[in-house]
Amino acid sequence: MVEIVGVHKMFGDLHVLKGVDLEVPRGSVCVVLGPSGSGKSTLLRCINELEDLTAGRIYVDGDLIGYREVEKNGTKRLHRLHPKVIAEQRSRIGMVFQRFNLFPHMTALQNVMEAPVQVRGLSRAKAKERAEELLARVGLADRMDHYPAQLSGGQQQRVAIARALAMDPELMLFDEPTSALDPELVGEVLAVMRDLAESGMTMIVVTHEIGFAREVGDHVVFMDDGAIVEQGDPREVLTNPREERTREFLAHVL
Give me the residues that bind ligand ADP (CB under 6 A), please. 11, 14, 16, 34, 36-42
Burial class (CB in 10 A: 0-12, 13-18, 19+), 142: exposed
Number of neighbouring beta carbons within 10 Å of residue 192: 21
Do the bridges between strand 29-33 and strand 219-224 make them parallel or antiparallel, or are there none, so unpaired?
parallel
Cα distance between residue 219 and residue 5, in whole Å: 17
Cα distance between residue 219 and residue 102, in whole Å: 30
- The amino acid that residue 23 corresponds to is E
Cβ proximity to ligand ADP: between 145 and 248 the closer is 248
Do residues 173 and 48 lie in contact, with contact meaning Cβ atoms separated by under 8 Å?
yes
Partner whose footprint covers residue 39, from Mg ion, ligand ADP, none (CB < 5 to 8 Å by kind): ligand ADP
Cβ proximity to ligand ADP: between 191 and 227 the closer is 227
Interaction residues for Mg ion, span 16-45 (CB under 5 A): 40-41
Cα distance between residue 246 and residue 153, in whole Å: 31
Counting residues that bind Mg ion (by CB under 5 A) gives: 2
Smallest distance from ligand ADP to CB 36, Å? 4
Cβ proximity to Mg ion: between 43 and 144 the closer is 43
Cα distance between residue 188 and residue 173, in whole Å: 18
Smallest distance from ligand ADP to CB 223, Å? 7
Smallest distance from ligand ADP to CB 42, Å? 3
Cβ proximity to ligand ADP: between 6 and 37 the closer is 37
Partner whose footprint covers residue 111, from ligand ADP, Mg ion, none (CB < 5 to 8 Å by kind): none
Number of neighbouring beta carbons within 10 Å of residue 65: 23
Smallest distance from ligand ADP to CB 39, Å? 4
Partner whose footprint covers residue 34, from ligand ADP, Mg ion, none (CB < 5 to 8 Å by kind): ligand ADP
Smallest distance from ligand ADP to CB 231, Å? 15
- Cα 14 to chain centroid, rounded: 24
The residues of the shown chain that bind Mg ion, judged by CB under 5 A, are 40-41
